[in-house]
Chains A and B, each alone.
Chain A
Amino acid sequence: MVHEAATAAPPQPIEPGPVARLFQSSLPGLALEIGQSPIDEVVTVRREDFARVMETAKNDEQLALDYLRCLSGVDWLTDLETVYHLHSFKHGHSIAIKVRCPVADAHVPSVSHLWETANWHERETQELFGIVFDGHPDPRPLLTEEGLGYYIMRKSHPLADIEEWQEDYLKTIEEAKSQMAVATGVAAPVDEKALKIQMAQQKAAVIKKARDEARAKGLSPEDEKAAVQDAIKKFEEEHAARQAAAPVTPAKPVDERAAKIQLAQQKAALITKTRNEARARGVSPEEERQIVAEALKKFSEEQEQSAAAPQAAPAQAPAAPSVPTAPMDRAAKIQLAQQKAALITKAREDARAKGLSPEAERQAVAEALKKFAEEQQAG
């Protein structure tokens, strides 16, 4: 097979490029939307005749697009688009074929029977975008685990801002800010970012719950989606109603994570204690398990009483970042450093006044520092 070096299709106004013209000739009378990207030509096709276009793309003599380079999904909020970049080894030309489908009915015919590599690409797009490829031999998710419930690459899936990753570190600053606000009596600024994230998580939970109910009732996929949609709408109205009813003043966030850890540790200690007693008494494994269970039940009842009691002791602010030394000797240290710095500048000044070379200057500074250190010991 002779491979002449195909020159990149020159960018032209939207009148069809060479490959697009081939497409038009081999598929007469088909609605093709022609576009031009900096490297390849782009042909947008309706979903109904997508399968036929792909058949001809692969099997047609003139086109012979036998190499599927890249299959990517794009989320345009209103509808989902899949882009197929194809290349022909025989003629050396390449083209991008696009097909769109509405978000509600995200179905696209699969092309894994034409190109083997589409198998994995389609599985990945399916789990990240939620576009169902009809006729795919093995639609298991590829990268994420089963039953994730939401589609990561969709724009609707909230991308939490980077602050989200620094919770404990930022909590100290939030704490400091809210304490300072309380001290000065100014109302603590409402933290909309945390609110936004909470809202998104609740929404995802609502969607999941609605979907499970629908599946439990055994509805067909369409009305399952309808059920999910109105669940979301209901959730929004409630939220708006709650918002209007009582302006939310954020209660000081009790640090539940630390409390939870503490609770778990207490439980673990309790379990080991009861188990050792049971074993000391030489009890058979079943009774031993009952004893541990009772101890746990007793422990959880105590927890309820203590929770109903006045608010748990306010969680102590986690250690402020890296202020290890006691403030007193830090000031001394800074003071020492400043003296040293002043000494260095003075030594440098007179060295330069004498016009010494850089090395001699550095020695002068070093001696000054040594002398200063000896004075420190002596003093």
Chain B
Amino acid sequence: MVIETRPPHESDLETIDINVNVGPQHPATHGVFRMVLTVDGELVVDLDPVIGYMHRGNEKLPENCDYRQVIGYHDRTDYLAQFNTEHCYVEAVEKLAGIKPPERAEYIRVILAEINRIASHLMFFGAFGTDIGLFGTSFMYAFRDRETIQDLFEEVTGERMMYNYFRPGGVAWDLPDNFRQRCMQVLDSVERGVEQLDGLMMENEVVLARCRGLSPVTPEDAINWGLSGPMLRATGLAHDIRRAEPYSIYDRFQFDIPTGKRGDVYDKLVVRLEEMHQSARIVRQALETMPEGPIMAEGLKRVLRVPAGEVYMRVESPRGEYGVYLVSQGSDKPWRHKVRGASFSNLSALRAMAVGNFVSDVIIILGSIDIVLCEVDR
């Protein structure tokens, strides 16, 4: 898609385009990300994204850590969907080392990952509401439900965000006894909360007027830019790694893949809202059929030495395809540990999507990508 930036008009009153720095410190950049907007009045003529503020060497440090110490790094790459990222890394190590986790552990992982997806989408709706102008109302509704989910996670793992709960070969320890009933209770209250968010935002004419038809994306462009997750599905492509390349035990559950029509900002809202219902559906199915039994594979030695080899394990995180390319030379430290953040590719398409709109639209387009800066800069 070729972007023709408007040639500067030569009116008698010589006007210049000013560079507005939507800087690293800005309420709308969801973290430390800077956009240098060249603005002609309210119209954005050019946009130069600047990233790297959160670069902490998340790919270099694990080369000095034991395979179990690396899990902490994955909690901190995508800090809104830790169970999904841990799940991806742990599956990568298991595929390399040939470990088969027991059934119950697989179920626990799927349940927690899907609830974490709901929490992440709730965070999206809260932040998006603030971007579009709702004075914190959507934030409060979304965070009230996210708190209930975080309390549930605290009962299971002991932490509200950085869980470090999955292990290569299973999970650290078993679920508490009242987990099934607590989980059902949390799911019901969260579903009520999602209805409330739906009522507040989805049919609101002001939201419709602002988001409908804003920067539509065609499927071909989405594939070319490497978009994934809700951004890709909003364009109409039903590509979901849980369905296209089933990993873990996702192939045992019935769920639908919501897709949008024109790939504009409103479709992304619709797709994410629907995904929350689908995730709740998966969790309910998993809770019924969860077996009892051990939660850690047998015969794991104290120091996990992974045989030489490489694997690119990818998982459907709430933001898109989260991949870990793990290369091991047979020692107990990974040789190369590359993390493919979904927001990295999604963000690279920002310039093409944003140029030509108003300043207030660029803020919403950035909000609709639902970026997590740690995943972009690693």
Contacts and interface: CB of A to CB of B under 8 A. Distances in A.
Direct contact of A and B (CB under 8 A): yes
B226 A67 contact: yes
Contacts of B239: 3, 89
Contacts of A67: 223, 226
B245 A116 contact: no
B68 interface: no
Interface string A129-156: 0000000000001111100000011000
A187 to B, nearest CB: 30
A79 to B, nearest CB: 14
B57 A92 contact: no
A50 interface: no
A72 B338 contact: yes
A3 B311 contact: no
A92 B59 CA distance: 29
Contact of B327 (A74, A128, A141, A153): A74
Contacts of A115: 224, 226
A142 B52 contact: yes
Contacts of A72: 325, 336, 338, 340
A115 B61 CA distance: 30
Given A117-B225, A117-B348, A120-B348, A159 B96 contact: no
A108 to B, nearest CB: 16
Nearest to B237: A89
Contacts of B375: none
B60 interface: yes
A47 interface: no
Given A40-B312, A89-B239, A116-B225, A69 B246 contact: no
A141 B223 CA distance: 24
A141 B50 CA distance: 10
A85 B321 CA distance: 12
Contacts of A152: 57, 60
Contact of B325 (A70, A75, A162): A70
A92 B238 CA distance: 12
Interface string A107-129: 00000000111011100000010
A6 B244 contact: yes
A268 interface: no
B103 interface: no
Contacts of B377: 143
B312 A70 contact: yes
A144 B309 CA distance: 30
Interface residues of A, number: 42
A205 interface: no
Interface in B288-322: 309-314, 321
Contacts of B312: 37, 39-40, 69-70, 83, 85, 96
B169 interface: no
Contacts of A5: 243-244, 246
A73 B239 CA distance: 26
Contacts of B310: 37, 42, 83
B323 A143 contact: no
A68 B223 CA distance: 8
Given A74-B336, A159-B64, A120 B325 contact: no
Contact of A83 (B321, B325, B348): B325
B278 to A, nearest CB: 17
B345 interface: yes
B344 interface: yes
A94 B323 CA distance: 14
Contacts of B340: 69-70, 72
A143 B55 contact: yes
Contacts of B245: 6, 8, 39, 94
Given A39-B95, A143-B377, 10 more contacts: A8-B245, A37-B311, A39-B312, A69-B314, A72-B340, A115-B224, A116-B226, A120-B344, A141-B52, A162-B64
Interface of A: 1, 3, 5-6, 8, 37-40, 42, 66-70, 72-75, 83, 85, 89, 92, 94, 96, 115-117, 119-121, 128, 141-145, 152-153, 159, 161-162
5 contacts: A1-B237, A83-B312, A143-B51, A143-B377, A143-B378
Closest 7 CB pairs of A and B: A117-B226, A72-B338, A143-B52, A70-B340, A38-B95, A120-B348, A143-B55
